[in-house]
Structure 1
């Protein structure tokens, strides 16, 4: 198996697993449906082409939270395109200044095609919603051999420099990983309705997917080793 890793960073992101009426929420991390949809768009797969979507949806998915960001709320208004009538006020939630590492595990030829598509996308990628463009290139690495867990453990920390400053005194950082459950983990897994079946506008469909949470320790490239300070050293100097 091979693994494709992605960096999802931008001023705003919104990964909704459900949307009800005028309230559009966001999960705390990217959803499989959102990431697969982004890859499908980059590869030029049309919304109603469920046959081409199936191999992408079958990829095993995981995400590492490198910088959790801040949840923000926005109110939006709109008018009907034909009648001009004012539509109900909608409430929308976003993640501001968040950074994630997403990983997809599967056959190497498919992941190689997706990696190439991200470098020259047919449709521009966005982070959950069209109003949320990425601030950095999305593609990170294509690991020809390995598995999902190892890739999310080995990928360097992608947090912003300003965010890393609060961890200068730590050689490592502990990050949360959310990944699809193995067969033997089904009894401890949570469920999330973000497994895409179809992106067709007239019958968009998703089903449940199992997910487990774990923690990984990642080296901190911004660590600074401060000199040791012992207040009793002054007493030793005076007695000398």
Structure 2
């Protein structure tokens, strides 16, 4: 990235989320964290872009997601009837993440990031967390940050629910996993087919994206652990010396 870049962070929290990268036919799976295609789709919708619009500027953004509250994987079944014939369609499996919270971050040129921030605050189309049946439970915009993507992920406060933070109240500092774009030449990494080329419903296209896992440390605002002084030295034989 050049010197004139900034970072937009987004809080992705809701009762249910679903971020598919390899779903096919009647089995609709979810990754364990938001996908780049899903988050860029949210941003494109906020800007009011047509599904056939050019995505090259969004696809060029550097992307990472912090797992603040991993949630629980949930399986559901869905039935449907054909709209014209009323014929029963095959029962499909749908997978979701329940009670999950993530912080997604995109880094790019300042004018584009500022435009995305404005769009997220006043979206043309309402945001959803991977599927239209998964609305966010809290505002998603967390602000624009200077200083690079990793600095933003280290300084953004922990967004987990209060009940989840209390579970780890014995820890003052929390290590959180981050799944991020792998820079060219820094491989090998893991591959996800979630780099969008087109959202056109007639021919959606994605390519592989190299990612890697790392971690950042944040403060637990509900942490109560305190550093204690070492216990005094004790010599059990001292009373026998007289």
Cα distance in 2 for residues equivalent to 1:225 and 1:129: 39
Q: Of residues 40, 48, 53 in structure 2, which corresponds to 1:49?
A: 53
Q: How does 1:130-141 map to 2 (within 5 A)?
A: 130-141=132-143
Match of 2:240 in 1: none
Larger helix percent: 1
Q: Between Structure 1 and Structure 2, how many residues are aligned?
A: 228
Match of 1:8 in 2: 12
Q: How does 1:155-170 map to 2 (within 5 A)?
A: 155-170=156-171
Q: Deviations over 1:157-202 (max 9, x none)?
A: 0000011111111110111000001224222x11110000000010
Q: How does 1:118-129 map to 2 (within 5 A)?
A: 118-129=120-131
Q: SS state of the match for residue 185, structure 1?
A: coil
Match of 2:155 in 1: 154
- Segments of 4+ moved more than 6 angstroms: none
Match of 2:116 in 1: 114
- Please give the TM-score of this superposition, normalised by the length of structure 1: 0.91
Q: SS state of the match for residue 224, structure 2?
A: coil
**Structure 2, unpaired ranges of 5+:** 231-242
Cα distance in 1 for residues equivalent to 2:18 and 2:84: 28
User: Deviation of residue 209 (structure 1)?
Assistant: 0.6
**Structure 1, unpaired ranges of 5+:** 231-240
Q: Of residues 94, 113, 127 in structure 2, which corresponds to 1:92?
A: 94
Match of 1:197 in 2: 197
Cα distance in 1 for residues equivalent to 2:95 and 2:61: 28
